[in-house]
Each structure stands twice: as C-alpha cells, then as structure tokens.
Amino acid sequence: MCFALLIPAVGLGQEAPKPSPEPAPATPISPAPEKKPQQAVPTEKQDLQKAIDDAANDRAALVKNLEAFLQKYPESSQRPQIFRALVESNVQLRDFPRAVGYSEQLVSLNPEDIANTVLTIQLLDRYGDTPGFRRAVFYCSRVLEYVDHISQAEKSPRVSAEDWDTSKKRDKSSLLLVRGGLYRKLGDFPNAAKDFEASYALTPNATAAERLGELAELNKDLANAIQEYARAFALTDGTNGASSRADLRKKIGNVWRLAHGSEDGLGDYLLHAFDAATAAAAPAKSVRNPNGKEPYDFVLRGVVDSSSVRLADSKGKIVVLTFWATWCGPCRELEPQFDRVATRYAARADMVFYALNCDDDESLVLPFLQQEKPKTPALFADGLDRLLGVNSYPTTVILDRTGKIAFREDGFDPDGFEKSLSDAIERTASPSSESSSSAAAKP
C-alpha cells in the first residue's frame, strides 16, 4: 500500500503496562482482591495501522476498513494519503463513481496536487456525467493556468531549456485536447474547436486533427473535413488514443466521395498532405549558412568530431561531394564505390572528397557511420544541399577549381558509377578544362 509507507508501523501485540505492585503489608489480614490492568485506548495511528493490516491484500476489505476509519476520525491528518489509497483501490475494483468521489475530495483538500487533479480530470472524462464534465473543464483550466505560470527556474538543472519548453508545450497540448473533448461532450462545439486548434498549433497531433475533421464533417464543411482527416492520416501512429491509419482512411475516403463523387485524385492529395503535415510536426532546425550564395561561403560541421570545414579553403582544388541520408538504400550501395574512387585519388593534394549528410534527425548519423565505417570524411550538408537544389538521394557533384559545378549526377547507377565519376574527375582536372574555366572567369 503506497501510503502505508508514510505511517510508522505500530506494534499491535504489545502488552498493556502493568501497575506497580503494592508493598506487602506487615501483617496480612486477608488476600487483597486482584486488580485488573486497564485496557490501553488505541490511538488514531494504531487504528489506521489495524485497518491496513486487517485488510491484508484484499482491496475491497481495505476500502471498507478505511471508510470506517474516516467515519471515526473525519478530521484525520492522514486524509490525503487515505483518499489517494481509496482512489487507487476503487479504480482497481472498477468502482469508478466512488473513485471519482474520493479523487474530487482530494482535489478539494489539496488543490495544488496537480498529479491528482489530472487523474480526476481523466476519471471524470471517462466515467463522469454532464455536471462532472463541467467540473472537469474547470479542473483543466486550473491546470492549464498552472502550466502557463510555471517558470524555468523550477526545472531540474539536468533538463535543457529546449527540452523544458518542448515538455511544457506537450503538456499544454494534451490538456487542451482533453478539455476540447469535454466541451464536445457538453455540446459546446465552438470552444471544442478552439481547444483542438490550439492543441494542434502547439504540437501537431493526429487526435486534434481528427477531432477537427469530425466537427467540420458535422457542419457539412467537407473541404475542411478532408484537410483535417488528411493531417490525421499523415501523423497517426495508432497509439495513445489516436485512430489507426486504416480507420482514418475510411473517414477521409467517405468525405472525399461525398465531395467529389469518387476517390479520383485522393492518392495525390494524401501524399501532399503527408509531406505538409510531417514537415510541420518536425522540430524546427536552425538554419545553417543562411547567407551562403556560393559553395565557398559555406562552413560545414564534421559528423564524427566538432571540427568544421570551410569550403573557401578548397579554392583552387577539385571538390568531389556526395549527398546522402541514412534512410536512403541506394546511398549505402554508392558509399563503397565512392570510397574506392576517393582512395584512388588520395595522393592528389589538389583534390578533396566529402560525404555530406542530409538527415533531418542528425542523431541518427553518427551511429550509422560507426556501423558502416565509410572511409570518406563525413560532414553535415548544413544548407549546401539547399543552395544546390539537391532533392533526391544520392546526388554526386564535382566543383572545379573555381567553385563551379563541373559534374552532377542525381541517383545511382551501380554498374557505371565508378567509371562515370572517375572520367568526370579526369575531365575536370585536365589542363583544357582548367584553361576554359580561367577563360570563362575573365571579364
């Protein structure tokens, strides 16, 4: 029992203190009547411990015993722990009305107990009635106000400011989602929509999008229903109460047919919606090299260590680049061939080879490299992919000695890649290529 640990164990089998023996009379006249020891009056703590011990592991007995204890000691200082134990036990006994009652008593007794307030909201949301839904809305608003006012000064020093802000947004988003659902149960659709929209704005999530789609469908707003269902379809993982992708497919298909008469065009629409929704849900990335106008303006971070590479230091050299991502299958096939070409030219001081990673989640990259063990230095693309318009992987680029693109190949032909890349390097390094580049550079 969780709260039993807060109450010191009291020995219930101790003997009552015996009175001191009377001094023997000098001359016994008659036997003195035997005195019975007085029974010790149980203390409140002893009664509580007895209630717990007598119940053993029987939750139903524990509820009965604790309720009897509260009748005897209605103002007990142990009420918070007892109410919490009664909530837990009644949930396990599936006596949800009684669990809700004790949970709300605990909220009334200790309104600053946010964890219990959240539990009360969840119980009322699932098992309450109309008045209970209204009270749950009030509790939600109270917790949202608490989350709004909590400051970073209260965070653990082991938690970064970024993680703190993310956690705070996630908590607010979840509370708004619950309150929106309560408003919906109460028939207050405008406030429900406001909360679902606010939840999605904080952290794009499938449940908020689906609820907005349902409200739009109820209002016969088919265009918005399609948009919201498509967002939910893109974001759902089927956990934490979110609908499965199969269920959402049925919903959006039904609304699409109502709006268009058939499902023609739905596939393309879902692909575009998927790209837009997942991009919005992705954590914001800091923009690297925002003012870069040409390759030599870029400074790229090393993946394995904290060193950086200034491409401006490569002026006068031939720079061979491959753009790749950990999720790209052809990139894995290209990597050993690219390494072999780089090794072939390793003695050339006028050439450099880099493998530029373009993953959205940079935390995946180092473990990937540790497993694959490529030989070519790996750097993050840090916006160079944006400058060069790289949108498919792998992409291989050769920059000549002036920083101009001399060769580019999107995709990967495993049968001819090594020869194609080697030939392009030779052409770029040939004197005729250099003279033509110099001539082009002259005014």
Active-site positions read 328, 331
Cα–Cα distances (Å) from 23 to 20, 28, 337, in that order, read 9, 11, 108
Tokens 């944006």 map to which residue? 386
The Cα–Cα gap between 140 and 136 comes to 6
The Cα–Cα gap between 418 and 413 comes to 9
At 128, list the tokens: 């309450």
- Taking Cα atoms as reference points, which of 181, 362, 200 lies closest to residue 288? 362
231 near 214, Cβ under 8 Å? no
Residue 44, helix vs strand vs coil: helix
- What contacts 247, CB < 8 A, 6 or more positions away? none
164 near 192, Cβ under 8 Å? no
At 285, list the tokens: 């990335």
107 near 84, Cβ under 8 Å? no
- Taking Cα atoms as reference points, which of 186, 199, 194 lies closest to residue 242? 199
At 286, list the tokens: 């800091």
Main-chain dihedrals φ then ψ at residue 384, nearest 5 degrees: -65, -30
Helix (H) or strand (E) holding 378: strand 378-380
138 near 169, Cβ under 8 Å? no
Strand pairing partners for 4?
none
Q: How many CA atoms lie within 13 A of 327 on its CB side?
A: 8
- Residue 261: left if φ>0, alpha if ψ -120 to 50, beta else—which one? left
Q: What is the DSSP string of 307-354?
A: -EEEGGGGTTSEEEEEEE-TT-HHHHHHHHHHHHHHHHTTT-TTEEEE
Determine the Cα angle at 139 with ends 136 and 140, to 5°: 85
Cis peptide before 28 (omega within 30 of 0): no
